Structure formats: structure tokens, C-alpha cells
Amino acid sequence: MTDVLRRGRASLAFSFFAQGVAFALLVTRIPAIQDRYGISDALLPAFLAAVPVLAGVGSVTTEKLVKRIPPSRLLRWAQPVVLLALLGVGAGDATVELAIALAAFGLAVGALDASMNMLGVSLQRAYGRSIMLSFHAVFSLGGIVGASLAWVGAHWDLALFVSYLPVVAVLLPAAFVGSRWYVDSDDPGPVEAQAGGGGDGVVFKALLPLCLVMTFAYIGDSTVSNWSAKYLEDVLGSSEQLATVPYNVYMVTTLIGRGLGDFGVRRFGAVTVVRVGAVVAALGFAVVAVAPGAWVGMLGFTLLGLGLCVLVPQTFAAAGRLFPAASDAAVARLNVFNYVGFLVGSPLVGALGDAWSYRGAMLVPMVLVLVTLVYARSFAAQPDRYGGGHERPRTADVGRGSNGL
């Protein structure tokens, strides 16, 4: 069983990595995509908004499908669709072809994100200790690799299809082969045993605090990804070249924070890690809001990466602990709020920036992230609902297995 879990963990980690690469290659080449298809600035937001909306549909659909189909099988086929849809974005010529490719990408990404995190939560339960942050760290690494490859494509003025094809040619067969070792969860008990009951074992009232934390975290994340460059250049007076640095710094600190975060959870517990993360992220927004110049602003974005990076993985883990016999449904439902935050964050900051000031706009996600402190207890271990008494002292993410892997 030890080797099975190790192979399952490695193969799932590669899936997270491949998804990070694919997503970064799409979002960092949006200007090139816009130029290729001749999309106006007025129409572009509609195309961009369609992806997270359809991803939400894909996540909800996945919640229904996993009642009959194992998450591993959904992930096995969703990932190739994502990669092929990315290639389709680079291969088309007409706007309708782009719309079809983005629709396929969005629907498949929803299924992919949901099923990946379902398997991550169940593996964490089997391991008996926190490993969820490590998967998201690998996703961050994939994002850095994808953004770097996108820079190479832009620097050498490569056509989108030429830029995407080698990446898909490598990742597609590797992900498909790796999918042989995905590990699905064992049913830890009857759904009826869940506290609160419910048709699928998930009580939305109990899940709501985690949904809010997920939304607030992605509002913060989308603020960085969409506004950091503009903020540094237009508000803090940096050069165009320097304005590209904050997002890269944010991604690197996200990778570092997630790489170390599991150790923090094992030592201090998820509640403490989430509280510290929320405070550090809020401090980062505050530094950005009052920064007198570009370098102080970059310090703020660095703090944001270190703080925000722990919230999303721990939110998925907490959902798995809260509803252990219905963790797949809980993860799929929670995953929808990933896209809600992504949809809300960028327009919210833009509207506040235009109506008020961009410095003031940074205070809104700061306050929302601080609200996480109110719900931090939702991240605590649930010994009466999870793991059959195998919880370990000072360990927040544990399950039936306690094999010490």
C-alpha cells in the first residue's frame, strides 16, 4: 500500500504541475490571443469571463458524475481535453473557433480542478498528515514554468500554435501515462453518518464559511494577477519592465510558502497556519496601498504571495475533514467559489480604482482576507467526524491511515 500511495502522490503532483503550465500559457498570452483573432477590447472581457463561468459548470457537473464515476477516471480524461483545448486556442483562425476552444478549456478545467483536489484530499486522508499544500506548490511551479515558456514564445515572436505544440506534445502523453497510478479514496463510512445529514452528506450551511474563505482568497489572487503590473506602473511610477516583476515575485513566494506550508500545518495545526496566512496577506495589501514607491510595493506583493498561498489548499483540506464520507461532493461544491472569486476580484478592484483610487481599492481585498480570521475555526480537526480516532496531537490534516509516510 505504501508504494501505491507514493506512486499516486507522484502522479497526482504531475497532474497539478501540468495544469499550472497549461493555465499560465493561456493567461499570459492573452494579448497575443487577442491580436490573433482580432478581438476588440470591449469584447475581450466576455471571452475571459466565459472561462471561469464554464469552469464552474464543469465543477458542478463533476460533483454529479463522481457519484457514478471515480474521480481518477474523470481526471484521466479531463487533463488531455484541457491540453488539446489549449492547442486549439493557438490553432484557430476565426472567432468562433476560439470560442469553441475556450469553452472546452473552461468546462474541462472545472472538472480537472475538482477531480485533482478530490484525489488530493483523499490521499491526504490516507497519508494521515498534511500533504495538500505540496500539490498546490507543484501547481505554482508549473505556473512559473508556463509563464517562462510564454515569455520565450513572446520574445522570439513565435506563433501561438508553435509555442503551444511542444509543451502539449510533452505533457499530454506523460499525464496520460501517469494517470495509471492515480489513487481513489476508500469510502470511510456511510454518508448518513455525516453530521447534519443531507442527501449527499454535504450541508451547505456548514460548508459556507469555507466557501467564503475560498472566494476571498481568489479575490486577493486575481487582484495580484490582474492589477499588480498596472498598479506598479501607473500608481507607483515604475518602468514598464519593472512592472512585470511583482507577479513573478508573487508566484515564486507562493511556491516557497506552499513548499514549506505542510510542515507548518503538521507542527502548529491548520487553524494557526490559516490565521498567520490571512494576517500576512492583509499586511501585504496594506503595504501595497501605502507604498511610496515601486520597491516597497514589490515588498507588499511578496508578502501577499506568502500569505495567500496557504488559504486555498487548506480550504480544500478542511472540506475533506468536515465531510469525510462525502468529501468529493464537498470539494466540487467548494471549487465553484474558486471561480466566483476570480470573476469578482478583477472587476471589483477596477471599478473601485476608477471610482475612488487604486490605493483605496487595495484595502477592500485586505479587509476580505482579514474576514478569514472569523472563520479560522472551520479549519480545525474534526475528531468526532474524521479518521476514527486516529488524529495525532498537533496535526491538523489526518485520516484513517497513520502509516507515517
Q: Give the range among 15-29, 226-240, 286-300, 311-325 with minimum mean pLDDT.
A: 226-240
Q: What is the predicted pLDDT for the residue at 381?
A: 75
356-365: list long-range contacts, CB under 8 Å, 24+ apart.
358/227, 358/230, 358/231, 358/234, 358/235, 359/235, 359/289, 359/290, 360/289, 362/223, 362/231, 362/285, 362/288, 362/289, 363/285, 363/286, 363/289, 365/216, 365/219, 365/220, 365/223, 365/285
Between 94 and 203, the more confident residue is 94
Q: What is the predicted pLDDT for the residue at 400?
A: 38
Q: What is the predicted pLDDT for the residue at 294?
A: 93
Cβ atoms within 10 Å of 255's Cβ, excluding its own: 22
In this predicted model, what pLDDT tens digit does every residue of 286-307 receive, in sequence order?
999 999 999 999 999 999 999 9
Q: What does the DSSP assignment read for 265-282?
A: HHHH-HHHHHHHHHHHHH
Closest CA relative to residue 337, chosen from 201, 219, 185: 219
Q: What does the DSSP assignment read for 155-218?
A: HTT--HHHHHHHHHHHHHHHHHHHGGG--PPP--S-GGGSTT--TTS--HHHHHHHHHHHHHHH
In this predicted model, what pLDDT tens digit does every residue of 41-100 receive, in sequence order?
889 888 888 999 999 999 999 999 999 999 999 999 999 999 999 999 999 999 999 999
For the chain, list the domains and their CATH numbers.
1-182 (1.20.1250.20), 194-386 (1.20.1250.20)
Distance of alpha carbon 326 from alpha carbon 45, whole angstroms: 36
Distance of CA 171 to the CA centre of its chain: 19
Q: Say whether pLDDT at 190 is over 60.
A: no
Between 28 and 88, the more confident residue is 88
Q: Region 230-240: what's the mean pLDDT? A: 87
CB 218 within 8 Å of CB 341: yes
Q: Give the range among 36-50, 92-106, 203-217 with minimum mean pLDDT.
A: 36-50
- Please count the residues of the chain: 405
Q: What is the predicted pLDDT for the residue at 200?
A: 64
| pLDDT above 90 as % of the chain | 71
Q: What is the predicted pLDDT for the residue at 295?
A: 94
Q: What is the predicted pLDDT for the residue at 96?
A: 95
Indicate the pLDDT class of residue 239, thresholds 50, 70 and 90.
confident
Q: What is the predicted pLDDT for the residue at 48?
A: 84
In this predicted model, what pLDDT tens digit does every residue of 361-391 receive, in sequence order?
999 999 999 999 999 999 997 653 433 333 3
Q: pTM of the predicted model, to two decimals? A: 0.88
Q: Region 195-224: what's the mean pLDDT? A: 83
Q: What is the predicted pLDDT for the residue at 397?
A: 40
Q: What is the predicted pLDDT for the residue at 42?
A: 83
Q: What is the predicted pLDDT for the residue at 290?
A: 97
Ramachandran quadrant class, 183 (left: phi over 0; alpha: psi -120 to 50; beta: rest) = beta
Q: Say whether pLDDT at 195 is over 70.
A: no
Q: Region 262-266: what's the mean pLDDT? A: 95
Q: What is the predicted pLDDT for the residue at 382?
A: 60
- Whole-Å CA distances, 312 to 81, 209, 212, 236, 357: 24, 13, 11, 29, 28
Average per-residue pLDDT in the chain?
88
CA torsion sign for 215, 216, 220, 226 is positive
Contacts of 355 (CB under 8 A, 6+ apart): none
In this predicted model, what pLDDT tens digit does every residue of 109-165 receive, in sequence order?
999 999 999 999 999 999 999 999 999 999 999 999 998 898 888 889 999 999 999
Q: What is the predicted pLDDT for the residue at 1?
A: 53
Grid cell listed for 15:
497532474
Identity of the residue numbered 324? P
Q: What is the predicted pLDDT for the residue at 199?
A: 52
CA count, 13 A, side-chain hemisphere, 18:
33
- Residue 137 phi/psi, 5-degree rounding, is -65, -40
Indicate the pLDDT class of residue 337, thresholds 50, 70 and 90.
very high
C-alpha torsion angle, residues 256, 262, 263, 269 (rounded to 10): 130
